Amino acid sequence: MGTWDIGPFDNDTAADFSYTVDEAPAEKKADVLLAAFREVVGTGEEYLDADLAVEAVAAAALVAAQCPGGEPVTTSYGPDEPLPPLPTELRPVAVAALDRVLGPESELLELWEESDGTEWKAGIVRLRAVLAGQPRAAGTGGTAGATRAG
């Protein structure tokens, strides 16, 4: 997996996932995101492949961008077109997927921990907080959903 930064779309797999989102008809985009979450949550206690986890993180960033306190996805590696309003029912399953990404038997977490992924993990925790509707503490900026255009 080619990874160049810590943002949700700063890797090849997430960029490819963006293409999948773009290719879906507007009325099916939420289904694409839901499928990414269900893939991750559906692994149960089995080892979670990094590519599945990366797609769920990217999908979570897209959902969080529409939440109060969420940050827009501004990277050129995200979807080209804005997403239609997404159902709020995606939020709890996105939270569950992020919990799985940060849990035991997660290849993505292991890969980040090998390279001091403290900042990456903090971004995922911030993303999760937005999805769970937890207010951001004063003075804590976040970059989980916004990455630089490139």
Does residue 121 register a pLDDT over 50?
Answer: yes
Percentage of the chain with pLDDT > 70? 89
The encoded tokens of residue 77 equal: 């590696």
> Closest by alpha carbon to 142, among 76, 73, 70, 79?
70
Buried/exposed code over 100-115 (b: 16+ C-beta within 10 A; e: otherwise): bbbeeebbbbebbeee
pLDDT in tens, 9-21: 999 999 999 999 9
Return d(Cα 15, Cα 133) in angstroms, integer: 27
* Per-residue confidence (pLDDT) for residue 140, from 0 to 100: 44
* pTM of the model as a whole: 0.89
Q: How confident is the model at residue 150 (pLDDT cuts 50, 70, 90)?
A: very low
* Per-residue confidence (pLDDT) for residue 28, from 0 to 100: 97
Return d(Cα 134, Cα 132) in angstroms, integer: 6
Amino acid at 145: G
